[in-house]
């Protein structure tokens, strides 16, 4: 029992390291590669490497590196929460894992229906990846959700799922949907179809980036105002930005935590709404039943 307990603790420690080390590695990489600048500095993701390719160079940026660090940390968290699952004696971590699964399945069931209950793991992955990516700003790292390329990639993936379920009844049924409710609405419906991934990407990216910009501007403004009002204080006291104490932290709580998690929830809800609403469930099951009856009738005729 003691050996088993020690091995269990060692594995737990490795999973915890798997959660923490990627974040520490990201902080170290940023310190070593980010040049120091004075004043307001609002830039995009730093470019680490360019790999020559035939048509266009493959650029490795801060967003890509931080995205992988978040994925590794989330993977370590999942392994930690599911380590040592038991049917009889449930631990606190197991109850947390079960709560996450139950809440995600409940959200998918209420928003999409029982048919899409298998989407629970995908929706949980979207919530975790988006939420934790936005929270990287708390550690001074560049959040991947502030990069349009990253969020646009998620939107294209979701758009692929939407189109896949719209094509469940065949290409003709999908194309016919553009002519509803009347034929002259076809150009508008086509434009609305194209606008779906664009709106999802720009909504998520814009809200996260705007929060970062506002926080930086407010912090810089408070520093200048502090020097203007309290710069007369003797010695080092005149150099301390007293007005920066408190308010930037409150703004960080809103923009980095509340707004970041809110945008993750909105992105997940839009994913569920677009996929479930685009799926012609009644027509799909009707077509499925007709095919089944046709195959049964054909089999009886052969006999």
Confidence band of 155 (pLDDT split at 50, 70, 90): very high
Q: What are phi and psi of 146, to 5 degrees?
A: -90, 0
> Which residues lie below 8 Å from residue 75, measured CB to CB, with a gap of 6+?
18
Strand, coil or helix: 53: coil
The mean-pLDDT minimum among 5-9, 91-95, 137-141, 214-218 falls in 214-218
Confidence band of 31 (pLDDT split at 50, 70, 90): confident
Q: Average pLDDT for residues 291-295, to the nearest whole number?
A: 77
Question: Does the N-terminal peptide bond of residue 204 adopt cis geometry, omega within 30 degrees of 0?
Answer: no
> Which residues lie below 8 Å from residue 214, measured CB to CB, with a gap of 6+?
251, 255
* Maximum average pLDDT range among 29-33, 73-77, 165-169, 186-190: 73-77
Q: Helix crossing, 148-166 with 62-81: angle to 10°?
A: 60
Q: Average pLDDT for residues 130-135, to the nearest whole number?
A: 90
Evaluated on CA atoms 108, 111, 117, 122, the torsion sign reads: negative
In angstroms, rounded to a whole number, what is the distance separating the alpha carbons of residues 10 and 2? Answer: 12
- Token pair 């758009």 in the structure block, residue: 159
Cα→Cα distances 226→41, 222, 261, Å: 19, 6, 32
Tokens of 168: 């469940």
How far the first Cα of the chain sits from its last, in Å, is: 64
CB-count burial class (<10 Å; 0-12, 13-18, 19+) for 300: exposed
Tokens of 241: 């930005």
Give the tens place of pLDDT for each residue, 40-68: 566 677 888 888 888 888 888 899 999 99
| Percentage of residues of the chain with pLDDT beyond 70 | 84
Confidence band of 234 (pLDDT split at 50, 70, 90): low
Q: Higher model confidence: residue 289 or residue 69?
A: 69
DSSP H or E segment with residue 50: strand 47-51
Q: Higher model confidence: residue 29 or residue 232?
A: 29
The contacts found for 29-38 with CB under 8 angstroms, 24 or more apart, are 29/65, 30/62, 30/140, 30/141, 30/142
Tokens of 87: 């049917």
Q: Average pLDDT for residues 90-99, to the nearest whole number?
A: 90
In angstroms, rounded to a whole number, what is the distance separating the alpha carbons of residues 71 and 127? Answer: 12
Confidence band of 37 (pLDDT split at 50, 70, 90): low
Give the tens place of pLDDT for each residue, 188-221: 888 888 888 888 888 888 877 777 777 767 767 7
In angstroms, rounded to a whole number, what is the distance separating the alpha carbons of residues 245 and 226? Answer: 10
């Amino acid at each position: 029992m003691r050996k088993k307990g020690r091995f269990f603790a060692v594995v737990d420690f490795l999973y915890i390291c798997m959660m923490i080390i990627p974040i520490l590695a990201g902080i170290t990489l940023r310190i070593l590669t980010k040049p120091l600048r004075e004043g307001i500095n609002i830039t995009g993701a730093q470019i680490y490497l360019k790999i020559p390719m035939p048509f266009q160079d493959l650029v490795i940026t801060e967003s890509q590196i931080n995205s992988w660090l978040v994925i590794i940390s989330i993977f370590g968290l999942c392994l930690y929460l599911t380590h040592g699952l038991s049917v009889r004696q449930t631990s606190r971590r197991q109850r947390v894992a079960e709560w996450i699964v139950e809440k995600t399945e409940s959200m998918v069931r209420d928003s999409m229906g029982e048919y899409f209950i298998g989407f629970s793991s995908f929706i949980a992955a979207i919530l975790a990846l988006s939420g934790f990516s936005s929270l990287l700003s708390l550690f001074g790292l560049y959040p991947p959700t502030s990069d349009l390329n990253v969020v646009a990639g998620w939107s294209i993936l979701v758009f692929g799922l939407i189109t896949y379920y719209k094509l469940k009844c065949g290409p003709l049924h999908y194309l016919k949907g553009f002519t509803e409710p009347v034929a002259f609405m076809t150009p508008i419906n086509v434009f609305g179809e194209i606008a779906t991934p664009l709106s999802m990407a720009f909504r998520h990216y814009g809200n996260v980036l705007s929060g970062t910009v506002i926080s930086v501007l407010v912090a810089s403004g408070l520093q200048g105002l502090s020097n203007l009002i309290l710069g007369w204080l003797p010695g080092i006291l005149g150099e301390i930005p007293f007005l920066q104490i408190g308010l930037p932290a409150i703004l960080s709580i809103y923009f980095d935590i509340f707004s970041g998690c809110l945008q993750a929830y909105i992105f997940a809800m839009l994913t569920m709404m677009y996929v479930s609403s685009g799926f012609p469930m009644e027509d799909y099951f009707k077509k499925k039943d007709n095919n089944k009856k046709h195959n049964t009738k054909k089999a009886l005729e052969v006999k």
